[in-house]
Amino acid sequence: MATWNAIAATSKAILAVLEEGFPRDRFPISASFELVQPQRLAGTTALPDGIALCLWRVAVNPRRALPPRRTPDGRRTKPSLPLDLHYLLVPSATAADTQQRLLGWALRELEDHPVLASGELNRQLAEPEVFAADEAVELLADPLALADFMALWDKAKATLPVAMGYTARMLLIDSEVLISEGPPVREREFAMAGVRR
Residues 32-72 have pLDDT tens digits of 999 999 888 776 677 889 999 999 999 998 877 777 777 77
pLDDT on residue 134: 87
Q: Which helix (H) or strand (E) holds 109?
A: helix 96-112
Strand pairing of 115-117 and 69-70?
unpaired
What is the spatial distance between Cα 63 and Cα 170, in angstroms, rounded to a whole number?
9
Beta carbons of 166 and 141 less than 8 angstroms apart = yes
* Percentage of residues of the chain with pLDDT beyond 90: 50
Dihedrals φ, ψ of 76, to 5°?
A: -100, 140
Higher confidence at residue 111 or residue 129?
111
State pTM to two decimals.
0.83
Beta carbons of 144 and 152 less than 8 angstroms apart = yes
pLDDT on residue 3: 87
